[in-house]
Amino acid sequence: MMPIHQSGGAAIEGALLPEAQVMRAADGALALRASRCRACGQPTFPRTDVCPFCLGEENEDLALAGTATLYAFTQVHIAPRHWQTPYLIGYADFDCGLRLFAKLNPHTSWAPGATARLHVEAVAAGTGTGEVAYRYHLGA
């Protein structure tokens, strides 16, 4: 696939996150580390120790993975240096109530309401960068 931008000389196909913001889902796949407030039930990404809705301090980890419903998207033609354009970005809604912004796989035809699968992967595995990239792929 075509890289979306470059980071430290490596081709990256999604937004970058430190490894601490990633966890394993129940099926063992990499997932984004969100949290859910035990007091009000609201989910938050990235994970937080204090709920932004009720200031509750008891938050449990929530693995953000699997599929979401694409809410809206657009194509970007002007970007920072070294980023390849055009590329797609959008919001998708997860069943847990979170709306997550991410890049979209550029090689498919997207439409609002489409099923977007969150894809999380380690960047340059074995190099010790501790970074992951995430983006949406079309379909379940």
Kindly state the DSSP code that residue 86 receives in the 8-state scheme: S
Find residue 32's DSSP bridge partners: 22, 64
Applying CB under 5 A, the site for Zn ion has a residue count of: 7
By C-beta, is 12 or 62 nearer to Zn ion?
62
Can residue 106 be called a binding residue for Zn ion (CB under 5 A)? no
By C-beta, is 21 or 42 nearer to Zn ion?
42
Binding string, residues 107-136; x marks residues near Zn ion by CB under 5 A: ------------------------------
Can residue 98 be called a binding residue for Zn ion (CB under 5 A)? no
Nearest-approach distance from CB 47 to Zn ion, in angstroms: 13
By C-beta, is 3 or 56 nearer to Zn ion?
56
Can residue 50 be called a binding residue for Zn ion (CB under 5 A)? no
CA distance 25 to 61: 11
CA distance 35 to 19: 16
Largest distance between two CA atoms of the chain = 44
Can residue 37 be called a binding residue for Zn ion (CB under 5 A)? yes
CB environment 120-139: b (16+ within 10 A), e (fewer): beebbeeeebebbbbbbebe
Q: What residue ranges bind Zn ion (CB under 5 A)?
A: 37, 39-40, 51, 53-54, 56
